[in-house]
């Protein structure tokens, strides 16, 4: 680790040491975790960018990396040197997207390491760890760029490289509006059914909706129906905010973005607004444009629970509140209750395991300070004396959990802690 990173870590630790949360346990965990992403996950690269591994897996997920460094946006005034790291993470994300916009996770170097040896039949480069197409992977750099834009005065990072990467992104998104005409496929053998796509790697059939087809959910599990609604909403949120920033020399790109946003919005209204089991109108999790709907929510962000957090809607929006009521109930097949915990899990992890990320998101999407504090305390109680927020935790036994080190969960806890602190 270089000297500059050590100095930044020391400044982050000094900042956190001055903060006190409602309980000793929540405070201690915050002090332990705030520097986690820089201290343990981030590496400075020779080209001035920064590689951020997801935790106990050595690859960089575009989605995870954005959410891992997101709390540092709020710390830039206290630790100004964080800006260079955040821009460096953004630039590495942009270069990964340019290298392969269909990939979700990348190696630090072109080592040829892949998640699975079975991926040899997929057109995957030596720099790519995994080539699952997930819309949120393309949204993540835009989300990070927007947060930087709103919290800094120098916007030099919105340069030609940025807009050219957006053009690459748009080409893929436009292609996947018509997935039946796309060359993308993903086939993996000797794996769980949700780790590969059916129909010879093309996924279940879909009809045109205006939305963008998605191969895999943010959980990295295959979509049951091809239009993942929260990811399309994430697209609307980031592209709508990016549009006014597109310079005049990229006017054709601006027109493309506006056209896509309009089509997705129409698709959401026509196909994704449904009658929930509660009898209220809300959002489906997935649809296929052929009459099928998946009514659920998953812990991974973007999720229906996280819609206000990703900038798609307001917390008090009635359709969102109807959806929230449904997904935070046993009518959501991935909502679990036990002796210790209640919350949203995922088919990516065992049944009756709740994700601290979703517990944090409950707090981050609530206007009630008491709820925020309660969620912070719930998460802190799940660390099993490891000073870590795990991927998922049994609702009955906190000693049963997945992943020893999951940096995204750690930093989402810190995001909620900073919210509670009013930062």
Identify the pLDDT of residue 119: 81
Identify the pLDDT of residue 121: 81
What is the per-residue pLDDT across 214-237, written as a single tens digit (0 to 9) for each?
Answer: 999 999 999 999 999 999 999 999
Which whole-number Å values give the CA distances from 332 to 236, 347, 358, 384, in the listed order?
25, 12, 13, 27
pLDDT > 80? residue 167: yes
Q: pLDDT confidence of 335, banded at 50, 70, 90?
A: very high
Token digits of residue 291: 């009459």
Average pLDDT over residues 251-263: 98
Of 167, 149, 99, 153, nearest to 127 by C-alpha is 99
DSSP state of 388: -
In the chain, pLDDT over 90 holds for what percent of residues?
96
Q: Where are the domains of the chain?
A: 134-331
Average pLDDT over residues 271-300: 98
Neighbouring-strand partners of residue 105: 61, 130
Q: How many Cβ atoms from other residues are within 10 Å of residue 199's Cβ?
A: 10
Q: pLDDT confidence of 378, banded at 50, 70, 90?
A: very high
pLDDT > 90? residue 117: no
Q: Which ranges in 70-134 belong to alpha helices (H)?
A: 82-99
The number of angstroms, rounded, from the C-alpha of 351 to the middle of its chain's C-alpha atoms is 21
Burial group, residue 342, by CB count within 10 angstroms (0-12, 13-18, 19+): middle
CB contact at 8 A, 33 and 387:
yes
Q: DSSP per residue over 155-221, as a string?
A: -TTSSHHHHHHHHHHHHHHHHHTTGGG-------SSS-GGGS-HHHHT-S-----SSPP-SB-TTSS
Q: pLDDT confidence of 172, banded at 50, 70, 90?
A: very high
Average pLDDT over residues 295-304: 98
What is the per-residue pLDDT across 194-204, written as a single tens digit (0 to 9) for each?
Answer: 999 999 999 99
Distance from C-alpha of 29 to C-alpha of 115, rounded to nearest angstrom:
31
Distance from C-alpha of 87 to C-alpha of 114, rounded to nearest angstrom:
27
The number of angstroms, rounded, from the C-alpha of 331 to the middle of its chain's C-alpha atoms is 24
In the chain, pLDDT over 70 holds for what percent of residues?
100
Identify the pLDDT of residue 31: 98
Average pLDDT over residues 16-41: 97
Identify the pLDDT of residue 2: 74
Identify the pLDDT of residue 233: 99
Identify the pLDDT of residue 360: 98
For domain 134-331, the CATH class is mainly alpha
What is the crossing angle of helices 407-420 and 62-69, to 10°? 30
pLDDT > 90? residue 120: no
Long-range contacts of 44-47 (CB under 8 A, 24+ apart): 44/2, 44/4, 44/5, 44/88, 45/88, 45/92, 45/108
pLDDT > 80? residue 3: no
Q: pLDDT confidence of 122, banded at 50, 70, 90?
A: confident
Average pLDDT over residues 124-151: 97
Distance from C-alpha of 140 to C-alpha of 231, rounded to nearest angstrom:
11
Neighbouring-strand partners of residue 392: 402
* Predicted TM-score (pTM) of this structure: 0.97
Matching residue, tokens 């891992």: 68
Identify the pLDDT of residue 118: 78
Average pLDDT over residues 185-209: 95
């Amino acid at each position: 680790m270089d000297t500059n990173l050590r100095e930044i870590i020391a400044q982050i630790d000094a900042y956190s040491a001055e903060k006190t949360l409602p309980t000793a346990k929540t405070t201690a965990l915050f002090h332990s975790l705030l520097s986690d992403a820089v201290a343990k996950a981030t590496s400075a690269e020779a080209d001035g960018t920064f590689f951020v591994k997801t935790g106990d897996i050595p690859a960089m997920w575009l989605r995870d990396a954005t959410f891992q460094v997101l709390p540092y946006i709020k710390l830039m005034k206290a630790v100004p040197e964080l800006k260079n790291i955040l821009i460096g993470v953004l630039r590495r994300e942009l270069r990964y997207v340019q290298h392969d916009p269909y990939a979700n996770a990348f190696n630090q170097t072109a080592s040829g390491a892949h998640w699975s040896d079975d991926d040899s039949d997929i057109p995957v480069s030596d720099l790519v760890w995994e080539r699952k197409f997930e819309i949120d992977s393309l949204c993540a750099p835009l989300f990070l760029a927007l947060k930087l834009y709103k919290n800094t005065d120098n916007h030099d990072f919105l340069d030609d490289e940025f807009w050219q990467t957006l053009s690459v992104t748009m080409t893929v998104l436009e292609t996947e509006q018509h997935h039946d005409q796309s060359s993308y496929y993903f086939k993996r053998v000797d794996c769980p059914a949700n780790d590969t796509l059916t129909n010879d790697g093309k996924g279940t059939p879909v009809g045109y909706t205006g939305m963008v087809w998605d191969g895999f959910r943010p959980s990295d599990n295959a979509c049951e129906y091809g239009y993942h609604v929260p990811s399309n909403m994430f697209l609307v949120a980031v592209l709508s905010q990016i549009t006014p920033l597109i310079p005049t020399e990229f006017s054709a790109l601006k027109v493309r973005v506006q056209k896509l946003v309009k089509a997705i919005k129409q698709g959401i209204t026509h196909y994704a607004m449904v009658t929930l089991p509660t009898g209220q109108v809300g959002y489906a999790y997935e649809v296929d444009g052929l009459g099928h709907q998946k009514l659920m929510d998953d812990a991974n962000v973007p999720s229906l629970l996280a819609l206000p957090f990703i900038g798609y809607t307001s917390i008090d929006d009635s359709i969102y509140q109807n959806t929230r009521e449904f997904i935070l109930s046993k009518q959501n097949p991935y909502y679990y209750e036990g002796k210790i915990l209640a919350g949203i899990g995922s088919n990516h992890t065992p049944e009756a395991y709740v994700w601290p990320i979703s517990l944090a998101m409950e707090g981050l999407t609530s206007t009630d300070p008491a709820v925020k504090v309660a969620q912070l305390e719930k998460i802190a109680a799940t660390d099993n004396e490891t000073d870590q927020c795990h991927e998922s935790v049994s609702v009955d036994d906190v000693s049963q959990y997945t992943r020893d080190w999951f940096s995204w969960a750690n930093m989402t806890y810190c995001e909620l802690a900073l919210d509670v602190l009013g930062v």
